Amino acid sequence: MAAQNEEPKALNLLFRTFFSKHWPVWVGGITLGILNILLFAIKSPWGASGGINNWGENLFKSFGLFGFEGTTPVNAHFYGLLCLILVIGAFVGALLSKEFALRIPPKGELVKGFLGGGLMALGAAVGMGCTIGSFFSGVPALSGGAIIFTMGLFAGVIVALKYLLWEMENLPGVSTGKSYTFLAVSEKKGKWQIWLGWIVSIVIFLIAWFVAGTNSILAWFIISGLLMGLICQRSRFCIVKAFRDPFMTGESDGSVGVMAGLLVTLVGFTAIKYFGIGLGDVSLRAREMTWVYPHFWFRALIGGFVFGVGMTIAGGCAVGTLWRVGEGQVKLWMSAIGFILISPISRKFIAPPLVDLMPHSMKFKNYLPDYIGYTGAFLLVCLFILLWYVFVKWNERTGKFSAF
């Protein structure tokens, strides 16, 4: 009888450990890095902009616009489905922690969300990736272009922050006005959110179970998307936070969390590429060149810069937009809409003529081990992360570059 009385208390304690408060960002970074390694081991690394683009192409396909008739349906597209389930995973995390609510900001913020999403779409099209594919996965994939893309992100964030500070001083009316919140619950009420969270989780696991009968890899992407969304929501994992906060508030928690994820992913990706893990029907060279895009150097720099501006104005990067959509932040709904609508147009009509103007020397594949070997490439990325860590910790202590 005593054991029966203690069991619910133990389970309740376990539940509260995960959902009564937010996790440290570094916990999110490490767990996301591990899931990213597993994705690569069975197929290919984590990406977000390609999945969001797939949503946009399917939307235009449904209206017969812009010639996207051959687009893969979302339910058969690995990354389109991964992004969709990630949103649902964040929805589950928000429900289980009773944090879901529709939060509608002033009109000016909604407009900035849409514009920021559009700029991210354009930046991803030009730079061949987003803060996930061309940064969080690209840097550990030992891509030289990914490092240049990262430099562009930093520059874009700084420029956008300068604008936002100017806007606050000179155009304060842009972001002020009425805001609304619906469906929010208190700590002692709103158990319907927890029940709904469990129901949605069970449905997703059942879908994955049925899909596994015909496509086990797609089933794993479904499970990974659910876990990634929940982890991002609970840890507040967002790459724009990692780039923005040191220059705005001086805080480094977001940056350190992303660095932790990068280091874990770097070890796993390097092992997969060096030893040819998960080759399947592809050659060792094809495995090595996974997530190494022809965007070194200028293409990556411009794409990263535009993406950095967009994500700062929107208040969320590619993955940050997705999980915030799941927890009900309407500004990021607008960001997602901008990304979805502009991405296919950018990829088909805007980026190609711009890229055609660039000589090959500004848009080629740069795989770091080809130039400095695996040891040199691994150490170079570690040095890159170390210098970033030293900078954000020094800036947190001194405030030298905070809010300029």
Prediction pTM value: 0.96
| Counted domains in the chain | 1
Q: Which whole number is the average pLDDT over 330-351?
A: 98
Predicted pLDDT at 1 = 47
Q: Residue 200 falls within a domain, yes or no?
A: yes
For the chain, the distance separating the N- and C-terminal CA atoms, rounded to the nearest angstrom, is 63
User: For residue 3, is it within any domain?
Assistant: no
- H helices within 20-98, ranges in order? 25-42, 49-62, 78-96
CB 295 within 8 Å of CB 130: no
Return the H-helix or E-strand segment holding 4: helix 2-19
> Phi-psi region for residue 238, left (φ > 0), alpha (ψ -120 to 50) or beta?
beta
Q: Give the pLDDT of residue 278.
A: 87
Q: Show the domain range for 370.
A: 24-398
Domain assignment present for 298: yes
Would you say residue 404 lies in a domain?
Answer: no
Tell me if 120 is assigned to some domain.
yes
pLDDT at 272: 97
**Which of 75-89, 268-282, 376-390 comes out lowest in average pLDDT?**
268-282
Average pLDDT for the chain = 96
Please report whether residue 17 resides in a domain.
no
Report the percent of the chain where pLDDT is more than 90. 93
Per-residue pLDDT tens digits for 216-253: 999 999 999 999 999 999 999 999 999 999 999 999 99
Domain assignment of residue 112, yes or no: yes
In a domain, 7, yes or no: no
Confidence of residue 188 (pLDDT cuts 50, 70, 90): confident
Alpha-carbon distance of 4 to 325, in angstroms, equals 40
C-alpha 174, offset from chain centre: 27
Q: Which amino acid is at 246?
A: P
Q: Kindly report, residue by residue over 195-218, the tens digit of the pLDDT.
A: 999 999 999 999 999 999 999 999
Question: Per residue in 347-373, pLDDT tens?
Answer: 999 999 999 999 999 999 999 999 999
Which range has the worst mean pLDDT, 8-12, 69-73, 383-387? 8-12
CA-nearest of 133, 173, 130 to 152 is 130
What is the per-residue pLDDT for 7?
Answer: 54
